[in-house]
Structure 1
Amino acid sequence: MTSASTNDIEFRSVAKRYGSVTAVSDINLAVPKGAFVALLGPSGCGKTTCLRMIGGFEQPSEGTVHIGGQPMNGVPAYRRPVNMVFQQYALFPHLDVEQNVAYGLRQMRPRIPSAEITRRAREALDMVRLGGFGKRRIHEMSGGQQQRVALARAIVNKPKVLLLDEPLAALDKKLRTAMQIELQSLQRELGITFVLVTHDQEEALSMSDFVCVMSTGRIVQMGPPQEIYDRPASLFVADFVGKTNRIAATIEPGAGAVRLANGVGLAKPARANGTTGSVTVALRPEAISLVRNGSATLSGTVTHRIFLGSSVEYSVDVEGLGDFLVTADRRSLDERDLAEPGERIGLSFDPNALHVFPA
């Protein structure tokens, strides 16, 4: 673990229990200053509990949480250098936009002069590109604009850490993509550490500097998005982050090959790392090429086709192995046509694209 001086957030052997239920167990986590970190995992994995312990809404049952090198156990939420953007934004409908943003400043003691509060509130609105919207009522703002009001309210106090609890979940896909870019730009501009909780893999991979994958209350892998996707540490990570094909296989001790469940032998992938016996190999859909003519690693029958515009997803039934998901660029076969359900097709891939895990 890096030294406290380089981290804005540290969890040191943290556990949280609710009666007999353990929500998180033995969490050790270091978030560097100015980083954008995503806590990613399925419902019930403990990611929101971790976020709430950073924010001071929950206290650890064991271990310590540090912010800026200072232990935070027992420190209430309002005394922490942290602000939070909630999933439902929690804006005050009876206040206008500027009053919502300024609300936290007006609660501070000693009191801040009114002119300074107005200046800082308008500055925060400018940062989220809502300058000139200060006198509007909340119900007059779109969903994306309301989210930016919530962001302005969170950054107006200049917190050391900004917590984001699935803030994009209520937005449609196009607006969600636009807001992902907005959040990235804002984080880089402010230099504040952002911690995002999400169960959306695409959101975590596209926005963050580091992804922390959680399962059953523990961290199973943390690293840059590309590392998480390209070098998953476990079958769970390979399965949860993105899409993957799972194939039963065996590797005999000393053998230079992996044998799939249908008897097809492939060169032993470099990522096998000495694993032998019964294994599960994971293969990303985009690592597979469709082949109409020429040699192929496997062959099967197209059962389903989903047109996605720039790409096409196919389900291909391979005898002895089951269905394979294949994501193909529209030019990967012949730009004039697509594979049809019922068509026999070849599947080709580099054996080094396989990730090998104990069965």
Structure 2
Amino acid sequence: MASASTNDIEFRSVTKNYGPVTAVKDINLNVPKGAFLALLGPSGCGKTTCLRMIGGFEQPSEGTVLIDGREMNGVPAYRRPVNMVFQHYALFPHFNVEQNVAYGLKQMRPRIAAADIDRRVAEALEMVRLGGFAKRRIHEMSGGQQQRVALARALVNRPSVLLLDEPLAALDKKLRSAMQIELQTLQRDLGITFVLVTHDQEEALSMADIVCVMSAGRIRQLGAPQEVYDHPADLFVADFVGKTNCIEAKMEADGATLRLADGSAIPAVKRVATDEAIVAIRPEAIRLSRERTAHGASFQGVVTHRIFLGSSAEYAVNVPGLGDFLVTADRSTMNDNDLVAPGEAVFLGFDPAAVHVFPASTA
């Protein structure tokens, strides 16, 4: 039965209660073998609870958790084919690198021969590019190196599933970006299932091949990163994943026109079931210029702030009657003379096809 499963992890109508509080409500989730899944959402959304139920640190109140087709309800953490890398790594400070990585192997029963332990530890350290660090003390390691020690310790037991509980949160931005690439490469090389918990949308989109957006204990959208970003299932996903501008609007009776708060109108590419709607548009989908554009929707406003980001610039633009817009301009399409200063009058243009429309009641 287990070998017939094409999924490494399955949640079947899983609910988790902590007394009167429901942390996870009726979750159904299938994670294919060898996938890199990111559980993404704000604090308290239930993502860590899901991770802990996979790892065996929590048991579901209702429903079933399966790993490789086998029911895991009631199976303790140490009996599951999973391992976890914690946010703060949980390394033993009194052990050196080699001893930390070998610790789990030495607890296994029946016992593993010392020569086999040494070989597997060496292989795990080579896997994370720490081959020459076996005798190094933990306090002598950088943050990125400690993170790789924690990875080696988790991988040395050859788990079917590796659980990552915000493992990059303690790293600086540059090191975090480097470790994102390393984790992706490692996951592809090993071919095992990774499950990452994060509240960092950029981390989820850049690393995972499946993103599960959660809110209030439920799954709001599950799909490939590009799908989740380009085609958000609802207003929560559109607002949480990436940056977006939200405008109140009313759907005209003809169903073809959206009337905005300032009285202007744009074509309704998508019809919603209610009259009250929210128009959402990504900052990078808006064109900023000093002259009115001839095509698409156009608004006039004043730049209130400019944030220079090197490869791009972000502008806050106030449009009378509509409020503040965030606009991202890619510097590859402009020169220094095109940078707009705060206080300048500008026009904002966008293609109505780039707009997402959601019922206001789902805000």
Question: How far apart in 2 are the matches of 1:143 and 1:341?
Answer: 40
Contact 1:91 1:150 in 2 (8 A): yes
Residue 341 of structure 1 aligns with an amino acid whose one-letter code is: P
Indicate the SS of the match to 1:336.
Answer: helix
Question: How far apart in 1 are the matches of 2:293 and 2:321?
Answer: 19
Contact 1:251 1:275 in 2 (8 A): no
- How has the CA–CA distance of structure 1 residues 294 and 322 changed in structure 2, closer, same or farther, with 3 Å as cutoff? closer
CA RMSD of aligned residues (A): 1.2
Question: How far apart in 1 are the matches of 2:4 and 2:232?
Answer: 28
Indicate the SS of the match to 1:346.
Answer: strand
Alpha-carbon deviations, 1:89-140, whole Å to 9, x = none? 0001111101100110000111110000000000000000000110100011
Residue 281 of structure 1 aligns with an amino acid whose one-letter code is: V
Question: How far apart in 2 are the matches of 1:201 and 1:225?
Answer: 10
Identify the match of residue 284 of structure 1 among 270, 277, 282.
282
Q: Which residue of 2 aligns with 1:264?
A: 264
1:106 aligns with 2:80: no
Q: Which residue of 2 aligns with 1:293?
A: 291
Q: Which residue of 1 aligns with 2:358?
A: 357
**Number of corresponding residues:** 355
Contact 2:311 2:332 in 1 (8 A): no
TM-fit CA distance, 1:71: 0.2
1:345 aligns with 2:346: yes
TM-fit CA distance, 1:279: 0.3
TM-fit CA distance, 1:329: 1.3
Indicate the SS of the match to 1:157.
Answer: coil
Contact 2:166 2:196 in 1 (8 A): yes
TM-fit CA distance, 1:256: 1.8
- How has the CA–CA distance of structure 1 residues 4 and 52 changed in structure 2, closer, same or farther, with 3 Å as cutoff? farther
TM-score normalised by the chain length of structure 2: 0.96
Indicate the SS of the match to 2:284.
Answer: helix
Trace 1:124-163 onto structure 2 (pairs within 5 A).
124-163=124-163
TM-fit CA distance, 1:161: 0.3
Structure 1 gaps of 5+ residues are: none
TM-fit CA distance, 1:333: 5.2
Contact 1:253 1:276 in 2 (8 A): no
TM-fit CA distance, 1:335: 3.9
Question: How far apart in 2 are the matches of 1:120 and 1:330?
Answer: 48
Alpha-carbon deviations, 1:25-78, whole Å to 9, x = none? 000000000000000000000000000000000000000000000000000000
Indicate the SS of the match to 1:220.
Answer: strand
More displaced, 293-302 or 327-336? 327-336
Residue 293 of structure 1 aligns with an amino acid whose one-letter code is: E
TM-fit CA distance, 1:257: 1.7
Q: Which residue of 1 aligns with 2:10?
A: 10
Contact 1:290 1:332 in 2 (8 A): no
Alpha-carbon deviations, 1:148-171, whole Å to 9, x = none? 000000000110000000000000
Identity %: 75
Indicate the SS of the match to 1:249.
Answer: strand
Question: How far apart in 2 are the matches of 1:179 and 1:295?
Answer: 42
TM-score normalised by the chain length of structure 1: 0.97
Residue 331 of structure 2 aligns with an amino acid whose one-letter code is: R
Question: How far apart in 2 are the matches of 1:291 and 1:251?
Answer: 28
Residue 322 of structure 1 aligns with an amino acid whose one-letter code is: G
Moved over 3 A (4+): 273-276, 331-335
Q: Which residue of 2 aligns with 1:74?
A: 74
Residue 66 of structure 1 aligns with an amino acid whose one-letter code is: L
Q: Which residue of 1 aligns with 2:248?
A: 248
Q: Which residue of 2 aligns with 1:307?
A: 308
Q: Which residue of 1 aligns with 2:230?
A: 230
